Structure 1
């Protein structure tokens, strides 16, 4: 891969991470204002107000950029810097540089075994739970959920947006999406 393609891939991945991270932070901020001590519309009034505030901020930003189009250059530069920083390394470079750390390892059997172990008897595992499982074993120190997700996707492990485990839905790996065991692993199980 040429340097230009590598930079484009890094910016593309980083843009997706920045967008998902921003959306997740906005959703968490809105969700935080929910009042479980109240019922009905009163309980949901806080999140509704915050959604309206976010919409108002987006509309205000739109109006400012329409009035001063030169500001778009600053916004674009800020976005590119954030996207570049979000991916310190591309997933393939990270997998090459850190072969001994958890799912970044190139051994598909080890990754599958780790996923099977983390899933247990549940239908899947959330990425946050998998990251905690890795960190308990001394791997993935300093990683965020987005780092783990990028590494899993680089290894071809499908990550679903909505995996339901223990009545909670989040990004995760579903049992049905686990990679098939290699012939060597299947032979070990049969023996």
Structure 2
């Protein structure tokens, strides 16, 4: 029987099956949950308060202290009860989730503001009367302006645009149509007195009457 003294050739190890791929890291769920409502927020706040107290003393001491506080509030009543309740509410309030506080604050502010009031649509103002605008410019700070001065400015304006200038009678008719009266003695900006339109008469004619409809005036 032949016995070989040489080292045996190591048999090739069977190829190990490929290691299973590392599990892909799942994205962590968002720790920030939805904003809890008021009951849930109070539950979180109470748990946080008791945990904080127990961390500084012990669970047994925490329960005993709170039990004695409740007994004292019920037994003595009055300001003792008010002080104990206020202290407990203040402590628990520190642990209310800020998101809940912000949401409650936003709701309170929204209720205080109320529904947005729609601004009423502004009525379109009628276009300014060119004749009245000219009269105000001629009057300035004076008591009034003369009819002669008004006619001269209207003639000048008509000549600039190539139109036939209005006569004095036509200007008087336009003033009458607008209910702008003429006075025999009116002082103008130069201090001269002559027939013309007084400031008070122009203001009265341009002030709408509540009982009468405005009389539309034609352009000069």
The TM-score, its normalising length taken from structure 1, stands at 0.34
Relative to its length, the structure with more helix (as a share) is 1
- Relative contact order (alpha carbons < 8 A, sep ≥ 6): 1 or 2 greater? 1
Larger Rg: 2
